[in-house]
Amino acid sequence: MELTKLKYYWWNKWIGLALLVVLVITIPILTLFFNIFDPPGESWSHLKENLLYDYFINTLLLLIGVALCTFFLGVSSAWIVSSYNFPGRRYFEWLLILPLGFPGYIMAYTYTGLLDYAGPIQSFMRNSLDIQVNGGIIDIMNLPGAIFILSITLYPYIYLLSRASFSQQSKTLQEAASLLKSSRSRTFFKVALPMARPAIVGGIALASMEVLNDYGVVKYFGVNTFTTGIFRSWFSMGDISTAIHLAVALMCFVFALLFLENLHRGNSRYVSSNPTNKPAEKSNLSKPLRYLMSGICTFIFLVSFFIPFMQVLNWVFLTYQKVIDREFFLLIYRSFALAISSGIVIVLLSVILLYALRLNPIKWVKNATKVAILGYAVPGAVIAIGIMVPVLELDKYLASHFSSDGRGLWITGSLFLVVFAYVVRFMAVGFHPIESGFQKVGIHVNEASRLLGAGTNKTLFKIDLPLIKPSLFAGILLVFVDVLKELPLTLILRPFNYHTLATKAFDMATNEMIAESANAALVIILTGIIPIIFLNRLIRVRNI
């Protein structure tokens, strides 16, 4: 889509509507920054002295550790899968993405259970091999353990993006390199890797955002970060002000990350100017090397998905009779309904934003819409705090003016609030598929329709929307999966007596009912896997 600087149509109802949406979505972040000027609560000085340094260091180490590990895991597996032929390559293509369906906190409990004293590994060693294992050796509940767990669930981001990049690198480039007598490894380090840099950095940025957002893993493993500090201040101390200060500190990390990523991308051109690239051929290897490649992929797959998934199945098998009852199905229904509605709302709002942009491709409108999708970079706990504060005030105001006896809680603790928070957080997830959908369709059909006399509204419903139906569907599906997995935001904002699969799994695991929590976990994982299969088909069909 071409952007123009001409100020025709600088205001119309679509722009107005879009701006309204953007404004409402950015309220939570704005609230935070206004409240930073309030004096901090009583526990702040105590926290500053004793805990703040821990929060900072742990968060920093987590980020660096996960960035390094996901880099190695993601890039190496992506390179292997896109450059070489080896047995099972077709399957590993999508098997290696599966860990994305495993939320981090579920991976954390599963591995803890696996390596626990009463778990299968230690029991086996004690009973069958007669080895008394010192639990301290395979203790996973610490910072390195958290890095491990987060890395194996997040490396698929880097894997996907790198693989797309490597596969797109044209055959001509590869042939040129080999003509110039460059060895395979030299080609990798000097050509392929640098060209994939924006994709890799993008993937690592995405993974880093997820690390900052995480609550379940770090809480369970006892690693104190800003997010656990926010929860502690909010719930244990009732000190909202301190929670806000911590939220802002966390946002500084996020901004630093975004800034670094933008800086890195700069103005460099990484794309080949030739639009019709032939994808690179996959080279053949000697037999032992081929099996080595299979072995590496198998190992990664086993550790990051297969073994924990087997453990989850095992627990379900042991406990399903106790856990699966009417309550459980109600839980599934509620989680699904909440996720689907959020998906629909987000797709609706994205359509409004993108249609406004489509009709008025002006730079400031584009920037305004970009602001709306920033929420994805903001940790869930931060959004929750940012929403709670003004809503509490609003409720007090409403109650005092409109309630017959001066009391009432209409918005706080309602599902409406939860869905609003999901919109703020996951706007980007629905936005991108629809954006690319509109881009592919192009503006000409829309313009033709309007030239023939149909208004903008009619054109939207009769022409544009039907044309991007697959994108709408994809958007709803992707939001659905993300909402289903979401934990920290839901924990804080959920209405009372309202559990989602995610909060229920977390709740049970923290109350020493890990095996029982596997039932909810299994549903989350299975629903997470579905879009992955679609995603892989999508990438394959586009010949990447």
Partner 1 sequence: MVIFDFLNKQSVMNQSFFRVICVSVLSLSMWSCAGDSDEVVNIYTHRHYAADQELFARFTEQTGIKVNVVNASADELIQKLELEGANSPADILITVDAGRLYRAEEKGLFQSFQSDIVNRNIPAKFRDPDGFWTGLTYRARIIAYSKDRVNPEDLSTYEDLASDKWKGRILTRSSENIYNQSLLASIIAANGTEAAEQWAAAVLGNMARDPKGSDRDQVKAVAGGEGDIAIVNTYYIGLMLNDENQEERKAAEQIAIFFPNQADRGTHINISGIGVTKYAPNKENAIRLIEYLSEEEAQSVLANLNFEYPINSKVETASLHKSWGDFKADDINLSILGEKNSDAVMIFDRVGWK
For residues 173 and 544, which CB has a smaller minimum distance to partner 1 in the complex?
A: 544
Using CB under 8 A as the binding rule, whether residue 470 contacts partner 1 is answered as yes
Using CB under 8 A as the binding rule, whether residue 236 contacts partner 1 is answered as yes
The interface region with partner 1, picked from 189-197, 283-291, 450-458, 505-513 by CB under 8 A, is 505-513
By the 10 Å C-beta count (0-12 exposed, 13-18 middle, 19+ buried), 219 is classed as buried
The number of angstroms, rounded, from the C-alpha of 8 to the middle of its chain's C-alpha atoms is 38
How many residues touch partner 1 (CB under 8 A)? Answer: 61
Using CB under 8 A as the binding rule, whether residue 136 contacts partner 1 is answered as yes
Q: Please give the structure tokens belonging to residue 166.
A: 């490597």
The interface region with partner 1, picked from 81-89, 103-111, 119-127, 293-301 by CB under 8 A, is 119-127
For residues 258 and 392, which CB has a smaller minimum distance to partner 1 in the complex?
A: 392
By the 10 Å C-beta count (0-12 exposed, 13-18 middle, 19+ buried), 324 is classed as middle
Residues 276-305 that bind partner 1 (CB under 8 A): none
Give min distance, CB of 29 to partner 1, in A.
Answer: 22
Instruction: Calculate ∠ Cα 95-100-103, nearest 5°.
Output: 135
- DSSP string covering 139-199: ---SHHHHHHHHHHHHHHHHHHHHHHHHHHSBHHHHHHHHHTT--HHHHIIIIIHHHTHHH
Instruction: Calculate ∠ Cα 269-271-274, nearest 5°.
Output: 125
Q: Which of 310, 415, 443, 539 binds partner 1 (CB under 8 A)?
A: 415
Task: Encode burial over 265-294: b for 16+ CB neighbours within 10 A, e otherwise.
Answer: eeeeeeeeeeeebeebeeeebeeeebeebb
Task: Encode burial over 343-377: b for 16+ CB neighbours within 10 A, e otherwise.
Answer: bbbbbbbbbbbbbbbbbbebeebeebbeebbbbbb
**Dihedral class, residue 142 (left if φ above 0, else alpha if ψ from -120 to 50, else beta):** beta
Residue carrying the six token digits 């690239």: 277
Evaluate whether 241 touches 178 at the Cβ level (below 8 Å). no
Give min distance, CB of 102 to partner 1, in A.
Answer: 22
Using CB under 8 A as the binding rule, whether residue 135 contacts partner 1 is answered as yes
The interface region with partner 1, picked from 22-30, 59-67, 75-83, 131-139 by CB under 8 A, is 131-139
Q: Which of 129, 185, 263, 496 binds partner 1 (CB under 8 A)?
A: 496
For residues 375 and 413, which CB has a smaller minimum distance to partner 1 in the complex?
A: 413
Residues 189-228 that bind partner 1 (CB under 8 A): 221-222, 224
Give min distance, CB of 314 to partner 1, in A.
Answer: 12
Q: Which of 182, 277, 412, 536 binds partner 1 (CB under 8 A)?
A: 412
The interface region with partner 1, picked from 20-28, 70-78, 292-300, 459-467 by CB under 8 A, is 459-467
Give min distance, CB of 517 to partner 1, in A.
Answer: 12
Q: Which of 2, 5, 8, 118 binds partner 1 (CB under 8 A)?
A: 118
**What's the CA gap between 160 and 101, in Å, rounded?**
14
Residue carrying the six token digits 């489509």: 358
Q: Write the binding mask 313 to 352 for partner 1: x where contact by CB under 8 A, - elsewhere.
A: ---------------------x--x--xx--x---x----
The interface region with partner 1, picked from 68-76, 138-146, 165-173, 479-487 by CB under 8 A, is 138-146
Using CB under 8 A as the binding rule, whether residue 398 contacts partner 1 is answered as no
For residues 139 and 447, which CB has a smaller minimum distance to partner 1 in the complex?
A: 139
- DSSP string covering 213-270: H--HHHHHHT---HHHHHHIIIIIS--HHHHHHHHHHHHHHHHHHHHHHHHHHTT---
For residues 238 and 442, which CB has a smaller minimum distance to partner 1 in the complex?
A: 238
**What's the CA gap between 17 and 366, in Å, rounded?**
14
Residue carrying the six token digits 């002295």: 49
Q: Which of 16, 238, 295, 442 binds partner 1 (CB under 8 A)?
A: 238
Q: Which of 72, 91, 117, 317 binds partner 1 (CB under 8 A)?
A: 117
For residues 296 and 324, which CB has a smaller minimum distance to partner 1 in the complex?
A: 324
Instruction: Using DSSP, state whether 279 is helix, strand or coil.
Output: strand
**What's the CA gap between 177 and 63, in Å, rounded?**
35
Phi, psi values for residue 183, rounded to 5°: -70, 165
Give min distance, CB of 298 to partner 1, in A.
Answer: 29
- DSSP string covering 423-446: HHHHHHHHHHHHHHHHHHH-SHHH
Q: Write the binding mask 22 to 61 for partner 1: x where contact by CB under 8 A, - elsewhere.
A: ------------------------x---xx----------
For residues 74 and 486, which CB has a smaller minimum distance to partner 1 in the complex?
A: 486
Using CB under 8 A as the binding rule, whether residue 469 contacts partner 1 is answered as yes
Q: Which residues bind partner 1 (CB under 8 A)?
A: 46, 50-51, 116-119, 122-123, 132-136, 139, 141-142, 221-222, 224, 232, 234-236, 238, 334, 337, 340-341, 344, 348, 392, 405, 407-409, 412-416, 419, 461-462, 465-466, 469-470, 473, 495-498, 507, 511-513, 534, 537-538, 541
